[in-house]
Structure 1
Amino acid sequence: MDPYAGLDAFDFVQQAPSPGLAAFVDHFWVVTWTELAEPYEQRILSHPTVNLNIAPGHRRIAGVIRGGFSYTMRGSGRVLGVRFRPGGFRTFLGGPVSELTGRFAEISDMYGAAGTALCEAVLAEPSAAAAIARVEAFLLDQAPREDPLAEEAAALVALAEAEAPMVRVEQLAARSGRSTRSLQRLFRDYVGIGPKWVIRRFRLYEAAERVYEGLDLATLAAELGYTDQAHLTRDFTAAVGMTPAAYARRRS
Structure 2
Amino acid sequence: MELQKIKPKHLSQQIKYIYILRSHATEIIPKPHMLIPDGTFELILNFGDAVYHTDQQQEAIQRPTALLAGGFRKQFSLHYAGHIHMIGVVFNPVYQNMILNDRMDIYSASLIKAEQVLGNTLNTMIDPLPDLSNTEHLREHIENYFMKFFTDQHQGVHTENLQTAIEMIQRSKGNIDLSKLSSRVCMSTRNFRRVFTETIGISPKEYIRIIRSKNILHLTRKGKSIEAMAFELGYYDPSHLIRDFKEISGTTPRGYVDQLNTIDESFMRVSQYARL
- Aligned residue type for 2:29: P
Query: Match for 2:186 among 167, 177, 189?
Result: 177
**Please, which runs of 5 or more residues in structure 2 have no aligned partner?**
51-64, 261-276
- Aligned residue type for 1:72: H
Equivalent residue runs for 1:62-101 within 5 Å: 62-73=69-80, 75-101=82-108
Question: Mean Cα displacement is larger for which, 33-42 or 99-108?
Answer: 33-42
What is aligned with 1:207? 216
What SS does the aligned partner of 1:83 have? strand
What is aligned with 1:130? 137
Question: Mean Cα displacement is larger for which, 117-126 or 52-61?
Answer: 117-126
Cα distance in 1, alignment partners of residues 257 and 13 from structure 2? 37
User: How far off is 1:42 after superposition?
Assistant: 2.2
What is aligned with 1:42? 33
Whether the aligned pair in 2 keeps the contact of 1:54 and 1:123 (CA below 8 Å) is no
Q: Which has the higher contact order (CA 8 A, sep 6+)?
A: 2
- Aligned residue type for 2:186: G
Query: Match for 1:112 among 110, 114, 119?
Result: 119
Cα distance in 1, alignment partners of residues 98 and 205 from structure 2? 24
Q: What's the CA shift string for 1:132-190, capped at 9, x where partnerless?
A: 33322221244633334223212211210111373321232233332211211121121
User: How far off is 1:52 after superposition?
Assistant: 0.8
**Please, which runs of 5 or more residues in structure 1 have no aligned partner?**
1-9
Superposition CA RMSD, Å:
2.5
What is aligned with 1:162? 171
User: How far off is 1:54 after superposition?
Assistant: 0.6
1:29 pairs with 2:19: yes
Whether the aligned pair in 2 keeps the contact of 1:53 and 1:61 (CA below 8 Å) is yes
Whether the aligned pair in 2 keeps the contact of 1:30 and 1:128 (CA below 8 Å) is no
Query: Match for 2:247 among 230, 238, 241?
Result: 238
What SS does the aligned partner of 2:45 have? strand
Change in CA separation of 1:213 and 1:37 when aligned onto 2, cut-off 3 Å? closer
Cα distance in 2, alignment partners of residues 179 and 170 from structure 1? 8
Whether the aligned pair in 1 keeps the contact of 2:14 and 2:150 (CA below 8 Å) is no
Change in CA separation of 1:25 and 1:130 when aligned onto 2, cut-off 3 Å? same
- Structure number having the greater strand percentage: 1
What is aligned with 1:51? 42
User: How far off is 1:79 after superposition?
Assistant: 1.1
Q: How many residues were matched structurally?
A: 241
TM-score (norm 1): 0.83
TM-score (norm 2): 0.76
Cα distance in 2, alignment partners of residues 233 and 36 from structure 1? 38
User: How far off is 1:75 after superposition?
Assistant: 4.1
